[in-house]
Amino acid sequence: MKKNDVDSGPVAPGLIQLDEGTLVSIRLARSTQLPGQFRAVAVAVLKARRRVPLSSSETAGFGPDPGSALEACLTRVRTTLSGKKTRPRRLERRPDATL
């Protein structure tokens, strides 16, 4: 989904690529709390092929139109990802079993 390809329906899920290693799944909908506003929330983020856990309260973006809500959400995702560091998985051998 590109930023300009926003469905005018009640819910429009989509994928946005932030950079070459980061893919964000976003759900865009009309806000029920603020009439006339849109709400975009990052549902999941894959960074370097690993899932990065996010909370919806950290990444919710609001705006008067779908594009501004989406941009607010992406800004919050970028700041959240810059603060989190992904831990590399350490591959360790298990000790040999002895009886």
Note the pLDDT tens digit of each residue in 19-59: 888 888 998 888 777 778 899 999 888 888 888 888 888 88
Cα–Cα distance, 47 to 69 (Å, whole number): 22
The residue with tokens 């506003």 is 37
pTM beyond cutoff 0.85 = no
Q: Does residue 51 fall inside a structural domain?
A: yes
Q: Does residue 90 fall inside a structural domain?
A: no
Greatest C-alpha distance within the chain = 69
Q: Does residue 91 fall inside a structural domain?
A: no
Q: Does residue 41 fall inside a structural domain?
A: yes
Question: Does residue 38 contact residue 12 with C-beta atoms inside 8 Å?
Answer: no
The whole domain housing 63 covers 11-81
Hey, CA dihedral for 76, 17, 13, 47, is it positive or negative? negative
pLDDT band at 73 (very low <50, low <70, confident <90, very high): very high
Instruction: Please tell me the number of Cα atoms within 13 Å of 39 on its side-chain side.
Output: 16
Q: Does residue 34 fall inside a structural domain?
A: yes
Within 10 Å of residue 74's Cβ, how many Cβ atoms?
A: 19
Q: Does residue 94 fall inside a structural domain?
A: no
Total structural domains within the chain? 1
Q: Does residue 1 fall inside a structural domain?
A: no
